[in-house]
Amino acid sequence: MGRLGAAEKQGGRPPRVVAQPTLEANLCALLQEFTAGEPMRAGVLGTHLSLRELSRRLLALGPPARRRTMRRLLSKLQVGRRTARKKKTMGHHPDRNAQCENIVRLRHA
């Protein structure tokens, strides 16, 4: 028996995608509804769902998948995660106190 090299597979559990081939197809079906393109860059796709939410929704379609597996599948499918980000701060508005006082006045009215 020869020594195994570092690059050779030594056993263990197969990846979830290999063990459950329907997983990738189910994810693609799920992403059809929750995927959008980037308006400024053609060919860039993203989803606003979190990895946890993707896992939960995928569970309804078939076998479960962990967040780590979801991350790998999204990378394989070249779908990124999109989140809303604030690019510019509001700063201080001179009428901030007047706005709050107006809200309080309207609540008590």
The contacts of residue 15 (CB under 8 Å, 6+ apart) are 69, 72
pTM of the model: 0.53
Domain regions of the chain by residue span: 16-84
63: its two tokens: 């076998």
Query: What 3-state class would DSSP assign to 35?
Result: strand
pLDDT digits (tens, 9 = 90+) for 63-107: 777 888 888 888 888 887 776 666 677 677 778 788 888 888 888
Query: Please, what is the Cα angle at 31 between 70 and 44, to 5 degrees?
Result: 90
In whole angstroms, give the CA distance from residue 25 to residue 17. Answer: 10
Q: Are 17 and 23 in contact (CB under 8 A)?
A: yes
pLDDT digits (tens, 9 = 90+) for 1-38: 555 556 666 677 777 666 677 888 888 888 888 776 66
